């Protein structure tokens, strides 16, 4: 079941109104956190197509850009970002807080203009910085205690789309 943590709908609406860029973690949000590895070592990841529609709807309905920030250095993630026309792709990021600070500086944004969805402890510092935050239903318990919104859906099963639609609805 989805929920607003300690914020009421008016507070979420005010936060959503400021959002210019939604950044998502990849594994555990856009995917279920699993990876398929062949005998030859080839890795495969499964993405939910509905999440892709969330990227498109944010862009078309609200003019909100989307970015992916991940600790992985994956050509698979690059291909997915390219297909979805995601311009903000940050791969092999070990210090997500420093990366977010650089994004803010490069794009002349404020932290409150960033929405972020993440699922695990390496997302915590960014979640504490961003203006509007969410976790998939199956996110780490500390993450779920910290975010503004806990999705009803798990990572890789539409959590990103749910968060995107929430932002769209709050801005409507």
pLDDT at 6: 43
Question: Rounded CA gap, 4 and 129, in Å?
Answer: 18
pLDDT at 35: 86
DSSP at 28:
T
pLDDT at 1: 41
pLDDT at 4: 54
Q: For the chain, which ranges sit under pLDDT 50?
A: 1, 5-7
Partners of 90 in the beta sheet? 69
Helix axes 9-18, 159-171, angle to 10 degrees: 90
Question: Rounded CA gap, 114 and 102, in Å?
Answer: 13
Domain CATH number, residue 106:
3.40.50.1000
Q: How many CA atoms are closer than 13 Å to the CA of 26, on its beta-carbon side?
A: 28
pTM assigned to the model: 0.93
Quote the domain boundaries for residue 19: 3-171
Helix axes 49-57, 159-171, angle to 10 degrees: 20
Long-range pairs of 62-67 with CB within 8 A, sequence gap ≥ 24: 62/19, 62/167, 62/168, 62/171, 64/19, 64/20, 64/21, 64/22, 64/115, 64/167, 65/20, 65/21, 65/22, 66/21, 66/22, 66/23, 66/24, 67/21, 67/22, 67/23, 67/24, 67/103
Number of domains in the chain: 1
Model pLDDT for residues 112-141, shown as the tens digit of each residue: 999 999 999 999 999 999 999 999 999 999
- Name the one residue in this structure whose structure tokens are 């999440």: 51
Question: Rounded CA gap, 147 and 5, in Å?
Answer: 7
């Amino acid at each position: 079941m989805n929920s607003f943590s300690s914020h009421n709908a008016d507070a979420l609406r005010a936060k959503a109104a400021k959002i210019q860029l939604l950044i998502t973690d990849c594994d555990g949000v856009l995917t279920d956190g699993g990876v398929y590895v062949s005998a030859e070592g080839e890795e495969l990841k499964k993405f939910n197509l509905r999440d892709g529609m969330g990227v498109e709807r944010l862009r078309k309905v609200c003019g909100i850009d989307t970015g992916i920030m991940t600790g992985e250095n994956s050509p698979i993630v690059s291909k997915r970002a390219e297909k979805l026309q995601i311009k903000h792709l940050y791969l092999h990021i070990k210090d997500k807080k420093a990366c977010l600070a650089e994004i803010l500086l490069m794009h002349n944004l404020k932290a409150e203009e960033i929405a972020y969805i993440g699922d695990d402890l390496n997302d915590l510092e960014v979640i504490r910085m961003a203006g509007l935050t969410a976790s998939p239903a199956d996110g780490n318990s500390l993450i779920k205690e910290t975010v503004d919104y806990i999705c009803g859906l798990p990572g890789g099963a539409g959590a990103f789309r749910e968060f995107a639609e929430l932002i769209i609805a709050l801005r409507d």
